[in-house]
Structure 1
Amino acid sequence: MSNLDTAKAMIAAYNAQDVDTYVSYMTDDACEANYRGDVVREGKEGTRSGLAAAFARWPQNHAEIVEAQAIGNYVLMREHVTRGPATDGSALVEPFDVIAVYSFEGDKCSRVEFIR
């Protein structure tokens, strides 16, 4: 599977709210972070628990791939994200676009950085 196909499979797992499949595409020490900034989910377990909490809060959460391309060991995706109503009664999050940079080591994703 190409890196682009792997990143697309990660989005499919994300949209299915299947955290186990999502993290199966990652290295053990992978992380999700703000672009050039703070790590927001560290390691497979941190990513698994962070996404599970997000999916519990926003059960209608969905990311649509608007554009995607692979460049070397990176995949760049422009994603349109809708959250839907939160289960905790917090204010509705307006839909937003994000650029996600997926970094790969071999056939596994080692880091995802978000530009928003």
Structure 2
Amino acid sequence: MTAIVDKNYAAYAANDLEGILATLAEDYTVLPFGGAPWVTSREGARKIYARHLVDYPMARTQVLGRIDLGKVTIKREHSEPAEGSKAPTVDVMMIYTVRDGLIARCESITRAGDEEAAVGVIAAQLDAYNVQDLDAHVACFAEDVVIADLNGAENLHGITDYRARYQGVFEQFPANHAHLDQRLACGNVVVDHERVRRSPDSEPFEVLAIYTVRDGKIARVDFVK
């Protein structure tokens, strides 16, 4: 499903602007994660990619990590500008969403905030989740926490509703366990690729949890299932 992302990167490496554009949906949207769109069309992306091909050649971009699940690919990257370019060094995480075989959406996360602290609170909530310590788990989340589907509906608001939901999960599935397959972090955003079993003999299911940390607490979780 996400092979189109590889095709996009191959075209970028080949300095093939038309090849890059061919991997994008007509309504291709570029935006900061959680922010307003910068670009809302394939043709609108032309100028951005033409500039990036000059300022950030693929040979100077290092992919630090990658997670794929369903229609979503997330890459953690570090890019140095081309020799002579005045563009800044870029430390970023990119979330690509594929629709009908083309890249429909690219969301960027720049490195801002205390990354070590963000990873720490995510690790703490997962540890508490796996030993069914409801108080310790809930303590990692903000009073106004929001739970949502990535680019979809917000389906939970506030710590009271969050506690009630996970009290129910722990009661219904006392052997519930989430195995961490991979973790990527960029500033105050942490992405966990988890494999969850409701019981030791049940079939696992995969999920991406995109955590946004604010003031030392998890303020938002966007799920990909």
TM interval, shorter chain, is: 0.7 to 0.9
Query: Residue in 1 aligned with 2:213?
Result: 104
Q: Which residue of 2 aligns with 1:3?
A: 118
Q: How far apart in 1 are the matches of 2:171 and 2:137? A: 16
The aligned residue for residue 81 of structure 2 is: none
- What is residue 18 of structure 1 aligned with on the other side? 133
Give the alignment partner of residue 150 of structure 2, picking from 13, 24, 35.
35
The residue type equivalent to 2:148 in the other structure is A
What TM-score does the superposition give when structure 2 sets the normalisation length?
0.46
Q: Which runs of 5+ in 2 are unaligned?
A: 1-115
RMSD (CA atoms): 1.8
Deviation per CA, 1:25-80, whole angstroms, max 9, x where unpaired?
11110022222222333211111110011111111110011111211220011011
Number of aligned residue pairs: 110
Higher relative contact order (CA 8 A, sep 6+): 1
Kindly provide the CA deviation profile for residues 60-115 of structure 1, in whole angstroms up to 9, marking residues without a partner as x: 11001111121122001101100028xxxxxx963111111000112111011110
TM-score by length of 1: 0.86
Q: Measure the CA separation in 2 of the matches of 1:22 and 1:48.
A: 9
- Misfit runs of 4+, over 3 Å: none
- Residue of structure 2 in register with 1:54 after alignment: 169
1:63 partner SS: strand
| Change in CA separation of 1:42 and 1:79 when aligned onto 2, cut-off 3 Å | same
Instruction: Flag structure 1 segments of 5+ consecutive residues without an equivalent.
Output: 86-91
Which structure has the greater CA radius of gyration? 2
